[in-house]
Amino acid sequence: MPSADKLLQRLRRRPESWLVGVILIVGAFLSAAAPGFLTTANLVDLLESYSVQAVLALGLFVVLVSGGIDISFAATASVAQYLAALMAARLQLPGFACIGAGLLVGTALGCLNATLIHFVRITSIIASIAMMSVTFSLLMYFSGGKSIYNLPDWWTDRIVFWQTEDAAGDLTRITLPVVVMVVAAILTWLMMTRSTVGRQLYALGGNPEAARRVGANIAALHYVAYGFLGFMAALAGLLQAHRVGESVPSAMYGTELAVLSAAVLGGASLSGGIGTVPGVLCGIVLLAMLQNGLNLLGVSSYFFQIVIGLTILISTSITVLSTRSRRRRRNPAGEPAHG
């Protein structure tokens, strides 16, 4: 069977294939140990509760591919969410205006990051740390840390696209967050693999100088990458408020590292130029499964962080060691090719 052999070889070359293997093993273990795990209701529920992180991770993935890094996206999401919530709750503006304004604010903050990184030439991790402390602190200062509870119905009402009830009475519902996540994933995938901009972003992350010499507009690419992350962050922020039914200024704060680890777990390289949308989604799925499975097993939620830590350490080590044995690495120091 030469074709099956070739397929196996191609699969082995894909960085996320081993991740799928890990997911299958963990899934098999959990479904054997926790009876409630392998039900459609639970799996869809899982998907919904991680939709916000998935949207964030997809945005971050684009920046990682371009060779940069961004820590400020959670702050951006909070700012966009809170401003939209203010417009909706205090000014009673219609839905499209609030959503549009929120997305616009997120994109603008992302573009501001791009300006700092490209034109002021600040390293991306430093620029985003600085921007994070500026935007999040100002948000906390002006909001006084107060939450907005009276969000309008158009924002908080559950939107169910499809639902079914099984014999046991478990309700399986495909809701708005899941649909948004799927659409965001498809759009990101299309942009990164089917458009010139996507190819150029990979080129920029792989070798910025080469990308410049073949005529890519580096400034525009930076604006696309960080602007896209800002847009996705705002989208995630709006989605998060939709899920919980209120806007808490500090709700998203602190998710940066979890999202970053999911993206990296999914094979997005911190050196830039490497990573796929399916891989990032696999990273999210693995983290979600671990958390949910441990909950079902009755393991203390305090334990979860230990598991995340071990997962990151083991998976990244395996990825690097396995790629190293196959080919000599382009950049042995593993330093970001571009800030």
Partner 1 sequence: MADLFEERAGQAGLTGLMARLRGGVPGGFPGLTALLIGLIALFSLSIPGFASGRTAQAFMFQVPLLGLLSLAMVVPLITGGLNLAIIATTNQCALLMAFIMNALIGPETGGGAAVLAILAALGAGLALAAVIGLVTGALVAYTGVHPILVTLGTKSLIDGISIYLTRGTPISGIPGLYSAAGNATLLGMPMTFLVLVVMTLLVGLILRRTPFGVACAMIGSNIEATRFSAIDTKRVLVGVYLMSSLLCFVAATVMLAIFNSASAEYAQSYLLVTILAAVLGGVDPFGGFGKVTGLMLALTILQVISSGFNQYGLSNYLTLAFWGLTLIGVMAVQTIRPYLTWPRRPG
Largest CA-CA distance found in the chain, in angstroms, rounded: 67
Q: Can you say whether residue 273 is alpha, beta or left, with left for phi > 0 and alpha for psi between -120 and 50 degrees?
A: left
- Between 95 and 334, name the residue whose CB sits nearer to partner 1: 334
What minimum distance in Å lies between the beta carbon of 301 and partner 1? 10
- Between 31 and 331, name the residue whose CB sits nearer to partner 1: 331
Q: What DSSP designation does 301 have?
A: G
Residue of 182, 181, 157, 160 lying closest to 171 (CA atoms): 160
* Near partner 1 by CB under 8 A: residue from 21, 38, 257, 330: 257
- Between 178 and 259, name the residue whose CB sits nearer to partner 1: 259
> Cα(285)–Cα(294) distance, rounded to whole angstroms?
14
What minimum distance in Å lies between the beta carbon of 118 and partner 1? 11
Q: Are 175 and 48 contacting, i.e. CB atoms less than 8 angstroms apart?
A: yes
- Tokens coding 60: 């971050």
- Between 242 and 338, name the residue whose CB sits nearer to partner 1: 338
* Contact status: 288 vs partner 1 (CB under 8 A): no
3-state secondary structure of 161: strand
Site string for partner 1, 84-123 (x = CB under 8 A): --------------------------------x---xxxx
One DSSP character per residue, 51-108 reads: HHHHHHHHHHHHHHHTT---STHHHHHHHHHHHHHHHHHTS---HHHHHHHHHHHHHH
Please report which residue ranges of 144-274 form alpha helices under DSSP H: 153-156, 176-194, 196-206, 208-213, 218-244, 256-265
* Near partner 1 by CB under 8 A: residue from 12, 90, 133, 193: 133
Identity (one letter) of the amino acid at 215?
G
Site string for partner 1, 142-181 (x = CB under 8 A): ----------------------------------------
> Cα(281)–Cα(175) distance, rounded to whole angstroms?
18
Residue of 246, 209, 216 lying closest to 88 (CA atoms): 246
* Contact status: 320 vs partner 1 (CB under 8 A): yes
In terms of Cβ atoms closer than 10 Å to its own Cβ (0-12, 13-18, 19+), residue 286 is: buried
Stretch that binds partner 1, among 2-10, 25-33, 283-291, 310-318 (CB under 8 A): 310-318
Which residue bears the tokens 């791009």? 114
Site string for partner 1, 51-70 (x = CB under 8 A): ------------------x-
Residue 195 burial (CB count, 10 A): 11
* Near partner 1 by CB under 8 A: residue from 92, 196, 300, 325: 300
What minimum distance in Å lies between the beta carbon of 321 and partner 1? 6
Stretch that binds partner 1, among 10-18, 237-245, 281-289, 325-333 (CB under 8 A): 325-333
* Count of residues that interact with partner 1, criterion CB under 8 A: 51
* Contact status: 306 vs partner 1 (CB under 8 A): yes
* Near partner 1 by CB under 8 A: residue from 34, 86, 104, 130: 130
* Near partner 1 by CB under 8 A: residue from 55, 264, 285, 287: 264
What minimum distance in Å lies between the beta carbon of 303 and partner 1? 6
- Report the interface residues with partner 1, using CB under 8 A: 69, 71, 116, 120-123, 125-127, 129-134, 137-138, 140-141, 257, 260-261, 264, 270-271, 300, 302-313, 316-317, 320-321, 324, 329, 332-336, 339
